[in-house]
Amino acid sequence: MKKGTSEVIHLEFEWSLFTITMLQVVLFYFTLLYCTVLYFTLLYFTLLYFLYRYRHF
């Protein structure tokens, strides 16, 4: 009985550890993607701004 309970706890612990790792990976990639999109958006608008500025003057 005790052995079975400890096995269940061990499985739950491994599962929670796996879930935490997966969440960290997903969060990391989401942050990376968000930063990349933000960076390229800023770059795009900066380029547009400079093109617009130099075209008119």
- Condensed to tens digits (0 to 9), the pLDDT of residues 1-57 reads 456 677 777 778 788 888 989 999 999 999 999 999 999 999 999 999 999 988 865
Predicted structure pTM score:
0.55
Residue ranges of domains in the chain = 1-57
| Rounded Cα distance, 39 and 33, in Å | 10
**3-state helix/strand/coil string of 3-57:** HHHHHHHHHHHHHHHHHHHHHHHHHHHHHHHHHHHHHHHHHHHHHHHHHHHHHHC
Structure confidence at residue 13 (pLDDT): 78
User: What's the pLDDT at 22?
Assistant: 93
Give the pLDDT score at 2: 56
